[in-house]
Each structure stands twice: as structure tokens, then as C-alpha cells.
Amino acid sequence: MKGKKTFRISLLLLASISFLALLQIRCRHDGINVANLDKVCFQRDVLPIFQNSCGTTNCHGSRGRGGYSFTDYTSIMKAISPSNPYKSKAYLAMTGKAFTQLMPPSGALSQNDRILVRVWIEQGAANTTCTTAVVTDPVVQNPAKSSNIVCFQRDLLPVLVSSCGITGCHDATTHKSGYTVTSYASVMTNLVQAGSPSTSKLYSVITKSQSSENAMPPKPYASLSSAVKDSIFNWIKNGALNETCSTACDTTGVVTYNKQISALISTNCIACHSATNASKGIQLDTYANVKVQLDNGKLLAAVKGTSIQMPPGYRISNCELRQIELWKANGATQN
């Protein structure tokens, strides 16, 4: 009996580990499903990237600065963990997540090159040789199979807190009309019917016309964007799970307002700092307005929490904070 019990416990543990592993894979939101991509060939697609960008004489050539050489498959594999780019030192270095300095130090690799390397690793990092034309832009071959997962903690909570869970509305202190919108638990209390957006009060009020008495957010606050409304619909429809996924934040390359900062501000700040609702007289709805607050130091002080904590109720991620700092260091350009 004892042996059977031990075996049963082992099976339960194995099942739990497998479920968590699958959940982690599902929550990775890198926008690429390698099952839908053509095979990335090492000799043709990946080796030239390493040789030209990393395996130069003064860096990781045959001498191997820092113990790493990137001139051939065998040496490159010392910095690669097949099927897992996030445990591969070479990939972490080129995305700025392994060392204090982004690699290569002369400038970030293009997004296309980073994607090629990552997909090659996820496909097993094999030493393959192909004779067909070079793949210059790996894309999903069947977009219908792609799945845009909406993760509550990453995609929705920041918007809900900055748009609804604010002082005087649905924060923990005010909880207007008995509703609090500052956490997963509070959102799920009387606001969401998992699997049914049409019967969920949250989706009902955010899709009402702004002229409606029960519209949320109410005037003068800005209405949620169509993209956010669609994300909330999909999240509820897919079970309203409390998922936490890896961020899509990228600090490599040049950070500009249009590429990164605009979306960051829109998600975390615009509800309280638009033209129709400029809290404390601060507007963050245009490049010019955001740059004013960057130049006078108030933007970084607020998001760092050294003056007043903004957004109220939570902090932006370290990666997002780093984006703002890099944007400023690079001249705070718009495009």
C-alpha cells in the first residue's frame, strides 16, 4: 500500500509540474510560434550574424574574449542552451539581459537578427545547412493559428488601475458604488462572469457610449481604446484567468516616443492626464507634452516614486522605467 501511495503522489507531482510548464509556455508573449515558422538554418542564417557582429578579432574571435568565441558552431554552442533562448547567454547578451553592457557594444542587433537567433535556438539550435534562398524576415506562415494571449497582470491591470481604480472612483478607499478595481480579486467580485463578456458588468460599462449615465470611465476621463476593450472581451471570453506573462518590453536598439514610449504612456498615464482630464494640470497625450514633463524631471521622478508615486497604486516595470531613461539619454526623439 505504501508503494502505491508513493507512486500516486509521484504521478500527481509530475502532472502538476507538467501543467505549470505548459502554463509558462502559454504565457510567453513573444509574438512568435516556432511551429508556424520555416526552419532557420544555422550555416546560412545564424552563423553570419555571430561572425559579423560578435566573432571579430577584437571581441569574440578565435581568441575568445571572456571565454567565448563566436566563429563556428562548436564555439557558439558554449553560449547556447538548445530550445531555451532565455537560458542562452548569447541571446541574453544581445537582448541586454545578461551583462551590464548590451552586446555587441557597437550597437544593438536588428530586431530581425535577434528573432532569427531566438527562433533558431527554440527550434533546437541544430547545425543545419540549407541551400534555399536566405530567409530575411521570418513570419508566421498561417496567421490564423497565431494566438494573442491577453494576460491580466501584464496587459489589463495597469489600464484598469489607471483608468478605474483611482482616488474618488474605484480604489480600495473610495470603492464607488461598491466596486474596487485594483487587483484581480476585486475585479472578479461582481464585475466579471468568466467566459461571458455579455453578462459581465465590467465589459458592459466600458462599452457604453460616453454620453450614457453609466459609462465607464465617466467624463471627463478618457474612454478606453477599442484595443483595450477588445482585450478585455477576449480575456473574459477565454476564462478571465489571473495570468502573469513575460513582458514584451524591449530595451535594445534606439528607444523613441513613437516606437515604445507612446504605448507605455497610453497604458499607464493617459486616463488621468489627457486634454479632457489633465490631473494636476499635466497633459501626457502628445509627444510635446510628454517631453515637457521628461525635460523638467517630473516624469521620471513620478514613475520612480521619488516625488509622488505614478501611476497611483502600482509601479511600472523596471524594463519600462529603463525605456524612459534610455529615451531621455538618446535625446528623447519622436521617431
Write the Ramachandran bin of 20: left for phi over 0, alpha for psi from -120 to 50, otherwise beta: alpha
CB 137 within 8 A of CB 112: yes
User: Cβ atoms within 10 A of the Cβ of 96, count?
Assistant: 19
CB 103 within 8 A of CB 68: no
Domain boundary among 108, 139, 170: 139
Residue 109 C-alpha cell reads as 542587433
Same domain membership, residue 100 and residue 40: yes
CA distances from 133 to 44, 138, 158, 169 (A): 9, 12, 44, 58
Same domain membership, residue 117 and residue 42: yes
Using the CB atoms, write b or e for 181-210: b if 16+ within 10 Å. Answer: bbbbebbbeebbbeeebeebebbebbbeee
Same domain membership, residue 191 and residue 106: no
pLDDT tens digits along 185-228 = 999 999 999 999 999 999 999 998 877 777 888 877 777 888 88
CB 165 within 8 A of CB 181: yes
Same domain membership, residue 40 and residue 135: yes
Domain boundary among 93, 117, 139: 139
User: Structural domain of residue 290, as residue ranges?
Assistant: 257-329
Q: Is residue 28 assigned to a domain? A: no
Q: Is residue 175 assigned to a domain? A: yes
Q: Is 273 in a helix, a strand, or coil? A: strand
d(CA 213, CA 304): 36
The 8-class DSSP code of residue 278 comes to B
Same domain membership, residue 293 and residue 200: no
Same domain membership, residue 102 and residue 58: yes
Q: Is residue 22 assigned to a domain? A: no
Residues 6 or more apart in contact with residue 319 via CB below 8 angstroms: 247, 249, 250, 251
Residue 17 C-alpha cell reads as 509540474
Question: How much is the pLDDT for 185?
Answer: 92
Q: Is residue 301 assigned to a domain? A: yes
List the alpha helices (DSSP H) in the chain.
2-27, 47-53, 73-76, 89-94, 111-122, 157-163, 184-188, 201-206, 226-237, 262-268, 287-295, 298-304, 318-329
pTM of the model: 0.45
Q: Is residue 124 assigned to a domain? A: yes
pLDDT tens digits along 1-32 = 545 444 444 444 444 444 334 434 333 334 45
Task: Report the domain count for the chain.
Answer: 3
Same domain membership, residue 319 and residue 264: yes
Q: What is the mean pLDDT of each run of 10 residues along the chain (335 residues)?
A: 47 42 38 66 87 67 69 90 90 71 67 84 89 39 42 84 81 87 91 93 89 79 82 90 72 84 85 79 92 94 84 77 88 93
Same domain membership, residue 113 and residue 197: no
d(CA 83, CA 166): 43
Same domain membership, residue 162 and residue 104: no
d(CA 313, CA 64): 48
Question: How much is the pLDDT for 56?
Answer: 59
Same domain membership, residue 134 and residue 157: no
Q: Is residue 8 assigned to a domain? A: no
Question: How much is the pLDDT for 92?
Answer: 86
